[in-house]
Amino acid sequence: MSSPYMHATEMKPKDYKSDVSVVWCPGCGHHGILNGVYRALAEAGVDPTGLICVSGIGCSSRLPYFLQSYKMHTLHGRAAPVATGAAVVRPDLVNMISGGDGDGFAIGGGHMPHVARKNVNLTYVLMDNGIYGLTKGQYSPTSRPELKAYTTPYGGPEEPMNPMLYMLTYGATYVAQAFAGKPGLCADLIKGALEHKGFSYVHIFTQCPSYNKIDTIEFYRDLVTEIPEGHDTSDLGAAMELARRPGGKAPIGLFYKVDRPTLNDHLDEIVTKVGGHKDYDIQKVINLSRP
Ligand SMILES: Cc1ncc(C[n+]2csc(CCOP(=O)(O)OP(=O)(O)O)c2C)c(N)n1
Ligand SMILES: [Mg+2]
């Protein structure tokens, strides 16, 4: 992320715990992800005074409450545009989003292609439990048809979407998949995402024992598999092949990582090009919103 707030100081996972009690249900996979986030931040040496975590609405969107950081709990589905604004005006901050499958891909689905294609310098941790947890169990875009939820008592009429293919297609420059039952892997992949310059997407399977009775921790344990040795993380075609879940198994690990200019790189280029124009001082506009 090339932020002055990274690798700044010796930190421990507990240094990122806020004094707000974690309110998720016992057995919820989100607990494991939160531990992964604490570890990733400590290993990346993120200074909490330079960390912002933005979220929408959902159980997963409550994660910032449990973090020692600046935070913004925005509208349902709107974390991506709000975090994009923060990335533009405060490029020095470490910028992270946490949210769910409903928040990111149902109501917020229209924003995902754009935050990816613009290569906004931020890390998106998406906690996929295949259900709307906070509102007590409605079908989501990643729900399997077999899931009987309040809104689909006979199961679902649709095929679930494939978030990994989607994010690769729209140009995310760091794409990884993990499982809440493996907090160590979550930590490694989130740390890599925080260190990546550009838009990084970490998709994490997480069980909701309260409202999704079929995507259990055991189901995910059987579903996931390590990425085969020798996978080339710069090969988009190979990453897409992994995203298609060969043999019915969902690979976990780093799918894809490339470097290309970020939104801020392009803005800086524009500022240089138009610099000095008396009627169009974009630098002045940007400076107005920077402290
Ligand atoms: C505009 C708007 N529509 C609907 C809601 C109700 N709502 C709150 S959270 C949520 C879904 C959350 O699901 P997800 O993002 O998967 O998070 P989870 O709780 O499963 O972690 C919905 C529909 C809302 N808060 N605002
Ligand atoms: Mg959910």
Domains of the chain: 13-260 (3.40.50.970), 261-291 (no CATH)
**Distance between CA 280 and CA 126 in Å, rounded?**
38
Amino acid type, 257? K
Assign 8 a pLDDT band (cuts: 50, 70, 90): confident
Q: Ligand 1: does its nearest atom lie under 6 Å from the Cβ of 178?
A: no
Nearest CA to ligand 1 atom 20: 133
Asked whether 180 lines ligand 1 (CB < 6 A), one says: no
Kindly report the average pLDDT of the chain as a whole number.
94
The torsion region of residue 65 among left (phi > 0), alpha (psi -120 to 50) and beta comes to alpha
Q: Whose CA is nearest to atom 3 of ligand 1?
A: 76
pLDDT recorded at residue 276 = 56
Q: Is the CB of 142 under 6 A from ligand 1?
A: no
Is any ligand 1 atom within 6 A of the Cβ of residue 24? Answer: no
Residue 92 φ/ψ, nearest 5 degrees: -75, -20
What's the pLDDT tens digit per position in 38-61?
Answer: 999 999 999 999 999 999 999 999
Residues measured by CB to lie within 5 Å of ligand 2, the ion: 100-102, 129, 133
**Does 133 sit in the ligand 1 pocket, CB within 6 Å?**
yes
Ligand 1 close to Cβ of residue 78 (< 6 A):
no
Compute the average pLDDT of residues 193-216: 98
| Full-model pTM | 0.95
Q: How confident is the model at residue 271 (pLDDT cuts 50, 70, 90)?
A: confident
Smallest CA-to-CA distance from 44 within 196, 175, 179 is with: 196
Predicted pLDDT at 279:
59
**Mean per-residue pLDDT, 178-192:** 98
* pLDDT surpasses 80 at 237: yes
Residue nearest to atom 2 of ligand 1 (CA): 76
Dihedral sign of CA atoms 228, 233, 237, 243 in order: positive
> What was the pLDDT predicted at 34?
98
Whether ligand 1 lies within 6 angstroms of the CB of 135 is answered as yes
pLDDT for 9: 76
Nearest CA to ligand 1 atom 7: 135
pLDDT at 289 over 70: no
Asked whether the beta carbons of 226 and 178 are under 8 A apart, the reply is no
**Is 215 touching ligand 1 by the criterion CB < 6 Å?**
no
Query: Counting ligands in written order, which one lies closest to the CA of residue 28?
Result: 1
The Å distance, Cα 264 to ligand 2 centre, comes to 31
Q: What percent of the chain has pLDDT over 70?
A: 93
